[in-house]
Copies of this chain bind each other. A is one copy, B any other.
Amino acid sequence: MTAADPSVMRWWGWGVDGHDPQLTPAVDAMLEATLGAPRGGLNPPVDEAEVALPDRPLPSHVTAALNDAVGDEHVRADHRTRLLRAAGKSYPDLVRLRAGDGSGAPDAVVLPGTSEEVAAVLAVCAEHGVAVVPFGGGTSVVGGVEALRGAHDHVIALDTRRLTRLIDADRTSRTATLEAGLTGPQAEAALAAFGLTLGHFPQSFEFSTVGGWVATRSAGQASTGVGRIDQLVLGLRAATPAGEVVARTVPASAAGPDVRQLLVGSEGTMGVITEATLKVRPAPEARAYEAFSVRSFAHGAEVLRALRQHDAAPDVLRLSDEAETQLSLAMAGTGRAQDALARYLRLRGHEGGCLIIAGWEGSAAAVRRRRLAARSVFVRHRALQLGTPAGKAWHHGRFGAPYLRDVLLDRRVMVDTLETATTWTDLERLKGAVTEAIAGTLAKRGTPAFVGCHVSHVYTSGASLYFTYAARQETGAELEQWRAVKAAASDAIVAGGGTITHHHGVGRDHAPWLAREAGGPALDALRAAKAAFDPAGIMNPGKLVDGTLTSAPPTEPSAQAQPA
């Protein structure tokens, strides 16, 4: 990775080298005892050159037209460039890539430098029947960026990384217009020059992009306070095969159905979001993070609900269930501070309880005022204050969790996450049903699971539920094992009244359940809107309204996969 190439991650895993965590002896022991996953037995990825990519070079007249649109140096078809856009970062994506299966790679990668060049690329692709997969940070964990061809012979990845301008920053109206390809750090750096922040910090923040956030209805770690990206979008600009859509920047409107909310979450299936005008706020003067303990998940949910419904919620507000709390404590390792914490929790009858992280950012006065208001709710609800060290530790490591997966994959441990949201009334019932679906499915397959859960986004009417599970891989049947869990968990979510995704998006992997959640008439209307924007069906085929589960039996013309 170079500074000019900021958001390219390791092709076989998350992030960049040098951040992999060391497993503590306690975690090692848990892996062995709970999952039956022995130490040693490393299973590294194949060599980069050995990954088989489809051998389907673009016809030369298409390449020539693309060269005309964006310049020769921005149309690339070398092995590494294609490999890096072969998939997102889901568990099945990494399983396949690590094993040398790069069948999801595009035939070429095109990097337009302006909104106009994006439109020109779409025009070439519509004319020649080439599928287009918009590609931002490539951090999708739902199969959103795999280069499927749909009904077309060829497919390109349209990489937005050259669209990195801050077009406008308005301190009076607290808005900023950002180009789609800005990564989190790039966007924040550009805004910081104006004393502003977007405050949107998904776990993928270091790599994911403004356009990707808007296209997938991203939620950030501080969205309880700052709002989800769909609540921050005031205006946008999108290139579609049918022409450009410009949704003007207004604070609110009654001018018919909201076209913004039709493109927000459209995941590249209707067009390419090239600019978004987002709500921003003054860069924070002050920042405070602290931890609390509650006796149980149910107790914690009551505390979170009270905070939100009494207008006293912190910006960041997270509750880990008993299992996830235990894992977090094990991950923290041993030492004087850890031992003291354990003793304190035991002494106060909170052994086996649950951890809450609360965080505030803003002006010093606002942080002080809001923290006092929240603390009074915590105290009233008998949450135990654990002070700032655990809160700071969370803040320090808040983008690091995905690296753990790579370490576990090396060790033939399956690990995945999935998420939903529901009302407070249904929260515990749904949590129980999904946990049981995951654990039951894996137990039946002879690979007993760890299943933990946390709440990371808190609303007046309900909250998100984010599940993390791990089990020993079924060697040779890794994808079947994963599909079985995915189906069971998703069935439980949809049957239990949740939404199939609270912030990961739909992609391929949630598409079958989106159909059940939304129902036929609604899905048909979305398909009709897509067809209006994209008459030739070139935009990100096989996703969202037309998706099938990753590595499900293919329904498209199969590509010839060959080693480079």
Could you tell me which A residues sit within 8 Å of B by CB distance? 170, 172-175, 216-219, 228, 230, 234, 240, 242-259, 261-267, 270, 279, 281, 305, 309, 311, 366, 421-425, 457, 459-464, 497-506, 510, 514, 517-522, 524-529, 531-533, 544-545
Contact = CB atoms under 8 A, between A and B. Distances in A.
A536 B101 CA distance: 48
Contact of A425 (B172, B525, B528): B172
Contact of A242 (B170, B261, B499, B524): B524
Contacts of A499: 248, 250, 252-255
B261 A258 contact: yes
Contacts of A247: 518, 522
A212 B518 CA distance: 23
18 contacts: A172-B423, A173-B461, A219-B252, A234-B461, A250-B497, A250-B498, A251-B464, A252-B502, A254-B265, A254-B499, A254-B503, A254-B505, A256-B265, A256-B544, A257-B529, A279-B461, A281-B460, A524-B532
Nearest to A459: B251
A253 B423 contact: no
Counting from the closest, the 8 A-B pairs by CB-CB distance are: A251-B459, A261-B261, A217-B254, A251-B462, A528-B532, A253-B499, A173-B423, A528-B528
A506 B500 CA distance: 33
A216 B256 CA distance: 7
A259 B522 contact: yes
A425 B257 contact: no
B423 A251 contact: yes
B526 A526 contact: no
Contacts of A170: 423, 425
B257 A261 contact: yes
Nearest to A271: B521
A248 B305 CA distance: 20
Contact of A529 (B234, B255, B525): B525
B219 A254 contact: yes
A423 B248 CA distance: 11
A55 B424 CA distance: 54
Contacts of A518: 247, 255-256, 259
A230 B260 CA distance: 13
